[in-house]
A and B are shown apart, each in its own frame.
Chain A
Amino acid sequence: MSTPTLDIQRIATLSRLKLSEEEGAQYAGQLSKILDYMHVLEKHDLSGVEPSAHAIPMFDVWREDVSRPGFTCAEALANAPRKSADQFMIGKVVE
């Protein structure tokens, strides 16, 4: 596999990161170099093996559907950069 040309601004938008053109060029160069290195994975035949998401077997974990104590409204809002009337304040999202 060869490393395709990186559309860094597209990746940045998917990542929700604003990058200047200069930053974009710098990251594109570094990421290409890192992705080239990933070709080391090609050395081994990986086709017949199950992928591991975890190091140990993991299964769905269930608990009883009963309420537990959580944050109060004031505690949940304590770190909010902007809040109003016991709610998080965000910018307008509807036209």
Chain B
Amino acid sequence: MSLATETIASLRSRLLSKEITATDIVTDLVKTIEARNPEIGAYLSYDVQAALDEAAKADISQPLGGIPLAIKDNINVTGQPCTCGSKMLAENYTAPYDASVISQLRAAGAVPFGRMNMDEFAMGSSTENSALGVTRNPWDLGRIPGGSSGGSAASVGSDLAIAALGSDTGGSIRQPAALCGCVGMKPTYGRVSRYGLVAFASSLDQIGPLTKTVEDAALLLNHLCGKDAADSTSLDIPVPDFTANMRDGVKGLRIGLPKEYFVEGTHPAVSAAVQAAIKQYEALGAEIIELSLPHTDCGVATYYVLAPAEASSNLARFDGVRYGHRALNTSDVLDHYMTSRAEGFGPEVKRRILLGTYVLSSGYYDAYYLKAQRARTFIRQDFETAFEKVDVILSPTCPSPAHKMGEMKNDPLTMYLEDVFTIAANLAGLPALSLPCGHDVSTGKPLPIGMQLVGKSLDESTLLKAAWAYEQSTDWHKIRAK
């Protein structure tokens, strides 16, 4: 059996017993990638020699020693490309520094290996907005892998990677994890430094793990968190060992079901899988409590005002001067900016820059941006009230399983509405996780279904405990894409 099929936990124990070497893992991964990546398209690029060199030097005594990790192509790794899935950075950008998470992971012995496809600048939920290649869902190659961390999720879901890093602004880790059958986690805002992550919406972005198991998510999270002087929004609070309470069970755990998340419009297979998961939690001794998040209907609108507004400002840095695409033969400085950006950015990025510029422009600021900021306060307060009564909140991760490629390409609003269950956690800054809880078999090929757990601020430990208990009592995580 290829080592590519294993988890961080199992590889670590085999490395420590000297049964295998870090080089063996990279070698097996490369074989799998060469065989399957051409059809799945999860990797945009990978440097085999660099990974072999790093693996040979990896300090196995470190907690993640010798573990290769696939990196979403918006996180800087020194000397590697960082395209953000965009023509803007595809031609001539080489990362001049390590993102802080990469420095931390290297210190823990991990080996960054491979650049994963994504929706351009992380804007999208299907990876169809990548300007650089198509990524397919490993469970059904005619379907999307989700997004924006689609390459990361497709690689972990098909054993093309041991584990991966993604970024989550409105569900971009959790939704593709759900659609590709893996575990995806967005930590509390501020837990993880954003330094070196190419900014999309700075008040919402967080880096997080995509893994085959809950335990692997906890193992990675242990080395992602912490205060970083280079990111003033990173929190200076102690980082626990996230595996410490993971096996404590859910007896007496209070799980909330928001009535606004269990409504018509959700695919029947998704509803059935999540209802079965709720029963399973009851059987495990958890207490199920119905509750209300009354401002849920504001979520999508709030997000699609605030995130594009922040993006329009963040993406102003792409000016064709310091890095990125530069148009030739422009007439003056305004033409230089406007043409370079028009040539470098794809349609969805342009749409969001235009939308963000509009809602921030004079005369419309109060009507859209300020209103959305006020709605954000209500959404946060909804969760604060809910968490007085419950420990975690359970819902589907997304309303339906993976759709067919191209199905929503010309209908941006419908695509945005698919983010309804995931965006509130970003707006409220809460930790949230998606884990496999079933399959939709109605199309002939099994399509993974994910359940989302949202936790209290900084309480990733309870989230992981709840996820682990369910995972260990079911077999969904053991079924891999063929």
Query: Do A and B interact with each other, yes or no?
Result: yes
Beta-carbon contact of A34 and B304 below 8 Å: yes
Beta-carbon contact of A78 and B368 below 8 Å: no
Within 8 A of A (CB), among B407-438: 412-413, 416, 426-430
Beta-carbon contact of B413 and A16 below 8 Å: no
- For B203, what are the chain A residues with a Cβ–Cβ distance below 8 Å? 53-55
Of the listed residues B229, B301, B326, B330, the one surrounded by the most CB atoms of chain A closer than 10 A to its CB is B301
Q: Is the interface of B mostly helix, strand, loop or mixed?
A: helix
Beta-carbon contact of B341 and A17 below 8 Å: yes
Min CB distance B52 to A, Å, is 25
- For B480, what are the chain A residues with a Cβ–Cβ distance below 8 Å? none
- For A58, what are the chain B residues with a Cβ–Cβ distance below 8 Å? 233
User: Which of chain B's residues has its CB closest to A47's CB?
Assistant: B374
Q: Is the interface of A mostly helix, strand, loop or mixed?
A: loop
User: Which of chain B's residues has its CB closest to A39's CB?
Assistant: B301
Size bracket of the A interface: 35 or more
A93 within 8 A of B: yes
B43 within 8 A of A: no
User: Which of chain B's residues has its CB closest to A93's CB?
Assistant: B333
User: Which of chain A's residues has its CB closest to B295's CB?
Assistant: A44
Beta-carbon contact of B341 and A16 below 8 Å: yes
A15 to B427 CA separation, bound complex (whole angstroms): 25
A85 to B232 CA separation, bound complex (whole angstroms): 34
A6 within 8 A of B: yes
Given contacts A14-B357, A81-B320, contact A34 B378 (CB under 8 A): no
B281 within 8 A of A: no
B462 within 8 A of A: no
- For B345, what are the chain A residues with a Cβ–Cβ distance below 8 Å? 17
Beta-carbon contact of B232 and A61 below 8 Å: yes
A52 within 8 A of B: yes
Beta-carbon contact of A55 and B380 below 8 Å: yes
Beta-carbon contact of B233 and A15 below 8 Å: no
- For B373, what are the chain A residues with a Cβ–Cβ distance below 8 Å? 51-53
Given contacts A15-B357, A88-B322, A91-B332, contact A46 B378 (CB under 8 A): yes
Given contacts A41-B298, A41-B371, A75-B96, contact A16 B377 (CB under 8 A): no
Q: A40-B301, A55-B430, A91-B333 are in contact. List 15 more A-B contacts (CB 8 A).
A: A8-B354, A14-B361, A17-B341, A18-B338, A18-B339, A30-B413, A34-B412, A41-B371, A50-B377, A53-B373, A55-B189, A79-B93, A79-B324, A80-B323, A92-B333
Top 5 closest A-B pairs, CB basis? A55-B429, A51-B373, A81-B326, A79-B323, A61-B232
